[in-house]
Amino acid sequence: MDLSTKKCVPCEGGTPAFDPKQIAEYREKIDESWNVIEYKKIVKEYHFKNYKQTIDFVNKVAILSEKENHHPVMHVYYGKVVIELWTHSVNGLSENDFILAAKIDKL
């Protein structure tokens, strides 16, 4: 199943965050360059030639996030963006995080 073809869906309140087994399963569905941090979030660095390309990418991610109604934390540097994904409403990881990761990697 190509996660990038799925749509993020609002998390019902009370939905539990993914457990380590689910995280391991979904981890295999996204690029290996994503790192799982303490079973709480997934993080990936993107590198660019200059600041304009960096900001162009950030804007594309912002537009995608609005469309999916699922938003990453983005740390923006001169030629690098560090993207952190987790689901705030469950204070951990959900399928939405892995869907958005797959979509971001296709931008």
Ligand X SMILES: C[C@H](O)[C@H](O)[C@H]1CNC2=NC(N)=NC(=O)C2=N1
Q: Which residues bind ligand X (CB under 6 A)?
A: 10-11, 69-71, 87-89
- The smaller minimum CB distance to ligand X, of residues 10 and 79, is found at 10
CA distances to 1, 24, 78 from 28, rounded to whole Å, are 11, 7, 31
Helix or strand holding residue 35 (H, E): strand 35-37
Closest CB 52 distance from ligand X, rounded Å: 26
- The smaller minimum CB distance to ligand X, of residues 42 and 46, is found at 42
Closest CB 85 distance from ligand X, rounded Å: 6
Which residues are registered as beta bridge partners of 41? 37
